A = this chain, B = another copy of it.
Amino acid sequence: MITADEQLAEMAAQALAEVRRQKPLVHNITNWVVTAFTANATLAVGASPVMAHAHEEAAEFARAAGAVVLNIGTLTPYTVQAMSLAGRAANELGVPVVLDPVGYGATELRTSATERLLGELRVHILRGNAAEMAGIGGRRAVIQGVDAVAAAPEAETAVAVARRWNLVAAVTAAVDSVSDGRRLLQVANGHHLLTRVTGTGCTASALVGAFAAVEPDGVLAAGAALVCLGVAAEQAGERASGPGTFAAHLLDTLHNLDETAVRRHARVAWAEPPC
C-alpha cells in the first residue's frame, strides 16, 4: 500500500549499520512481562541493553547510555520515580528519551504517570498504539485492558500528539505513522503475528531507542527502527507456525537482518500531514 521512498529505505539500512557499528547502550526501565524479550531484541539488532530501575543507579545508567527507554507497563510509584530520575539525568546530557505509555487511558495511574513524565521530561520520542496515542492527543478511543480495540486514524493521531506535546510521535498499527508535527513518515512493514506476542510494542520502543542513539533526527530514527523490526517480522512470519516460533524466529531475523534486505523490503515513505 506504500510505494517505498528509496532515500528513506537507504537511510534505514544505514541507520542499522550505524547501530551495529556503535553498539549503543540502551537503558531500559520497563515492565516485568517484556524485560527478557526486549533485552534479547536489543541485543539482536546489535545494541547493548541494560535493564535497571533502582533509584540509586537509575540516573547513573542514564548518563552512561546512548538512549533511555521508559515503559510504564507493570508500573508502580517506585518505578515511575525511577523513570523520572533516569529521564532527568538523560535530559541534562542530551541523551534521547523514549517513552512508551503502555495502557494510557486504561487506568488513572497510567494516565497520570504518562502525563507526569511528559510534563517533567523532555521526551524525544513517544511510541504507543493507536488507542493510547489517541488519548494522549486528546481524542477518544475504546480501550480494553492495555490493548487498543478501536481508534482514530493513526496518521492524524501521530501529527496531533506531536504538535500537542512538541515531540516525535510514533503510532504503531498495520501502517505505522511517525510525525514531529510537521513531517509525517509511514511504514507498512510488519506481520500480523506481532499482535499475538506480548511485548512487541515494548520491543519497538526499545529499538526506537537504539536507533535514536545513533540518529539525531527522531522521525528518521523511529522510522528506521520500525522498518527494521517490520522487515524482520515479515521474514520471521515466513518461518513461523504460530506466535511461539514467531518470537524465536524474530530474534533470529533481527540478528541476521542485512542492509540489502532492508533496502529491498522497506516499505517506508513520506506522506502529507493532515491539517
Q: Tell me which residues across on chain B come within 8 A of A7, comparing CB atoms.
A: none
- A145 in complex: contacting residue of B25, B56, B106, CB < 8 Å: B25
> Quick check: B243 and A252 within 8 Å, CB to CB?
yes
CB distance from A78 to the nearest CB of B (A): 8
A54-B76, A56-B108, A109-B54 known; A144 vs B25 contact (CB < 8 Å): yes
Q: Please tell me which one of the listed residues B107, B109, B110, B248 contacts residue A245 in the complex, with CB atoms under 8 A apart.
A: B248
Q: Are B39 and A198 in contact (CB under 8 A)?
A: yes
In the complex the two chains form, is A145's CB within 8 Å of B61's CB?
yes
For the complex, what is the distance from the CA of A247 to the CA of B245, rounded to whole Å?
9
A77 interface contact, C-beta 8 A: yes
The interface on chain A, measured as residues whose beta carbon lies within 8 A of the other chain's beta carbons, has a size of: 62
The CB with the most chain B CB atoms within 10 A, among A27, A43, A75, A145, is that of: A145
Interface string of A101-134 (1 = CB under 8 A from B): 0010011111000000000000000000000000
Q: Are B50 and A146 in contact (CB under 8 A)?
A: yes
Chain B residue at smallest Cβ distance from A197: B40
Assuming the contacts A43-B243, A56-B108, A61-B106, asked whether A50 and B196 have C-beta atoms less than 8 A apart, the reply is no
**Residues of chain A having any CB pair with chain B under 8 Å:** 23, 25, 27, 31-37, 39-40, 43-44, 48-54, 56-57, 60-61, 64-65, 73-77, 103, 106-110, 144-147, 196-199, 240-245, 247-256
Can you list 20 A-B pairs with a CB-CB distance of less than 8 A? A35-B74, A40-B243, A40-B244, A43-B196, A50-B103, A52-B74, A56-B77, A56-B108, A57-B107, A60-B107, A64-B106, A64-B144, A65-B145, A240-B252, A242-B249, A242-B251, A244-B247, A244-B251, A245-B251, A248-B248
